[in-house]
Amino acid sequence: MRLAREVQEGLLPAPGLLLPEVEVAGRFLPCWALGGDFYDYFPLGERVLGLYLGDVQGKGLGGALDALLVSGLLRGVHKAGARPADVLAFLNRRLSLRSGPGRFACLGYALYDRAARRLQFANAGLPFPWLVRGGRLEPIRLTGPPVGLFDSSEFDQTEVALAPGDRLLFYTDGVTDSLRGPRSRQPEGEERLAELVLGAAGSSAAALADALVRRLRRRRRAARDDMSFIVLRIR
């Protein structure tokens, strides 16, 4: 298990990525020794930044193995810079060929053009990402079925214009589930997350990520799901 955890952590990107126009920071907190969440961010050429965040059905060793399968398939297709919706459609077809009981994943995939300051995003069952701008929080409302669930699934994508100072938060549902606790209502976790994000105005992507990790670690013993997120800040 220790070696498996080292392998899983070794596949994650460095904690933060600093480019002239953007900062990116991601974090992963499994509820057990291993987890079924995964993420990555990476440059595609000189002007495009790619990122994805995923959550497979399952936890522990089984979830970690399925997460490795999905992320491994993604690593083979994302380098071409294809449209996010097309990437999800391709991944869905590949996973459908490897179908098994409960084998599917919620996933968000995005491309950010650093020169045009525009984000393309496709969603396959993840919570809506949040755009934080001028002290206000706005969800990017885009739905889609999890990949690997139906072989004929189709996916939409949206495009968002961004400006210096904007921040984006992509997260798995374990984050808000942990913040609300096991007996409180669902919106409470989102309210606590929004309070933390809005209270960190002006913070770097890494500083906001670290603040969120500190809050989540206080809830870790009560967590019933893995927790992962990516913060993107436009400079």
Q: What is the pLDDT of residues 138-174, one digit of tens each?
A: 999 999 999 998 888 999 999 999 999 999 999 999 9
Give the pLDDT mean for 85-112: 87
User: What domains does the chain contain, in order, with CATH numbers?
Assistant: 2-234 (3.60.40.10)
Q: How many CA atoms lie within 13 A of 111 on its CB side?
A: 23
- Per the DSSP assignment, residues forming a β-bridge with 147 are 105
In this prediction the pTM is: 0.92
Q: What is the pLDDT of residues 45-70, one digit of tens each?
A: 889 999 999 999 877 788 888 888 88
Q: Would you say 182 and 224 are in contact if contact means Cβ atoms under 8 Å apart?
A: yes
Q: Which helix (H) or strand (E) holds 139?
A: strand 136-139
- CA-closest candidate to residue 199, choices 151, 152, 146, 135: 135
